[in-house]
Amino acid sequence: MSGGLLVAGTTSDAGKSVVTAGICRWLVRRGVKVAPFKAQNMSLNSFVTREGAEIGRAQAMQAQACRVEPTALMNPVLLKPGSEQSSQVVLMGRPVGELSARGYHGGRQQQLLGTVLDCLAELRGTYDAVICEGAGSPAEINLRRTDIVNMGIARNARPRLPVLVVGDIDRGGVFASFFGTVALLSREDQALVAGFLVNKFRGDVSLLEPGLDMLHGLTGRRTYGVLPFRHGLGIDEEDGMAVSLRGTVRESNVAPPVGEDVLRVAVCAVPLMSNFTDVDALAAEPGVVVRFVDRPEELADADLVVVPGTRGTVRALRWLRERGLADVLVRRAAEGRPVLGVCGGFQILGERIEDDVESRAGQVDGLGVLPVRVRFAREKTLTRPVGEALGEPVEGYEIHHGVADVTGGETFLDGCRVGAVWGTHWHGSLESDGFRRAFLREVAAAAGRRFVPAPDTSFAALREEQLDRLGDLIEEHADTDALWRLIESGAPQGLPFIPPGAPA
């Protein structure tokens, strides 16, 4: 078979990524050979595949849900915002240039349709089913002409893809959103919209059922399930541009610490923050409390400060100085209090940055707490390094234009350490359990905390458990028989047209 499904949403952050991962895990547990696909992703959280291609982290996690190795085919177009107006375009895992939003939607996007359709066709020829994720809403009528990720891909795929629309009822207005989404699509596109899936419902489902019946009467489309609200089910975030400092603090493990103290980790929420998922492995440790901060006083009680990756190193450095955070970081380093810089954060902690590529700012002084000089190269480094540090095996991935010249300090992964300040380009290193525990012991000693890492925390096992919980949600709260028929046979015939349809 060559089954498929497009999971669209009434809005951004409706739960498309989570639902796609859940459907993938449910299918693979049924013995179906399944793969994820997202034609175009806008994200500052990315991942490097084994062949050295850069894709969105959400698709890498969905591949894990499918128990397959992620490839560039699963996310052929990745947009990495560099400002509110422009993005780096990554095609088949490699950067091909910077484009403004107007330039991209003005013609470049439509040129990529053939590429994304070829990738989808190759996946469908290899797997029993491909579960595709849309982006934003399929009813963005201003972007319909150049759409290659929502109805554009569903309509042009062969065979065509049935569409399931996900709505976040926790936001309110889900019935209007479902109806309006369908009513703003063309007749041709409406024929592919099979029905709806309610996400994040709290309460008694029986109270919702009259509304679902009315929605069916109004649209002729059924609801395939009502997923209850569950804490801690989000997979890797997609859009670093949308991070709310107060609303997206990563959920820390509620288990008590093994030792006498907790360990407090403060993450500087720099502009264009990328791969902030690096700290998820810290938050998974019992007794480690992780929060994002943007004020110098919030660093006062931190045992470890993390300066994360960023798509704008020079801009982030300027922001740290303007906010007074830079002075605190320099003072912490002088006092022997722990600081970790990852990728762009590592570059910021160095002595000098020479950037004629990303910001075109030329030579800029860094914070000077690590003996490192960075020069930005036009070629992007995309690797999956493996090594040993702190006496433990460790692996990670690198995504950066900056080339670091380390002139002193102790070796630390690809970077260095001076006192209680560490710097590295390696993302994902803290997911290596033994290395993470050794690093936390070093941090606790430097911070004077009687914190002891749990001896048995497995980050990989926690990820698997999370993906299984997503699969459970689909299996227990969706009509899986109807969902399978949809994937296998496509949208039902004779679905009614809901006026007014898409404007000409």
Both tokens of 167, joined, read: 């709505």
Residue 205 DSSP SS3: helix
Residue 374 DSSP SS3: strand
Both tokens of 58, joined, read: 């959400």
Is residue 379 within 8 Å of residue 371, measured between CB atoms? no
Reported as type and span, the H/E element at residue 66 is helix 57-66
Residue 256 DSSP SS3: coil
- Alpha carbon distance 202, 226 (integer Å): 10
Active site residue 343: yes
Name the catalytic one among 343, 401, 416, 477: 343
Please identify which residue in the block is written with the tokens 């029993």.
128
Active site residue 427: yes
Both tokens of 202, joined, read: 């709290």
Please identify which residue in the block is written with the tokens 């020829």.
125
Q: Which residue type, as a one-letter code, is found at position 308?
A: P
Both tokens of 440, joined, read: 């936390």
On the 0-12 / 13-18 / 19+ scale of CB atoms within 10 A, 111 is: exposed
**C-alpha torsion 341→345→348→354, nearest 10:** 120
Give the rounded distance of the alpha carbon of 445 from its chain centre.
32
For the sheet containing 288-293, what is the strand order?
288-293, 263-268, 304-307, 339-342, 421-424, 415-418, 410-412
Smallest CA-to-CA distance from 50 within 454, 307, 386, 456 is with 386
- Alpha carbon distance 98, 354 (integer Å): 19
* Count of other CB atoms within 10 angstroms of residue 464: 15
Name the catalytic one among 400, 401, 425, 427: 427
- Alpha carbon distance 489, 504 (integer Å): 30
Phi/psi at 470 (5° precision)? -65, -40
Phi/psi at 88 (5° precision)? -80, 135
Residues ≥6 apart with Cβ < 8 Å to 442: 338, 390, 420
Q: Where are the beta strands (DSSP E) in 202-262?
A: 222-228
Residue 287 DSSP SS3: coil
- Alpha carbon distance 199, 193 (integer Å): 17
- Alpha carbon distance 284, 277 (integer Å): 11
- Alpha carbon distance 355, 133 (integer Å): 36
List the catalytic residues: 343, 427
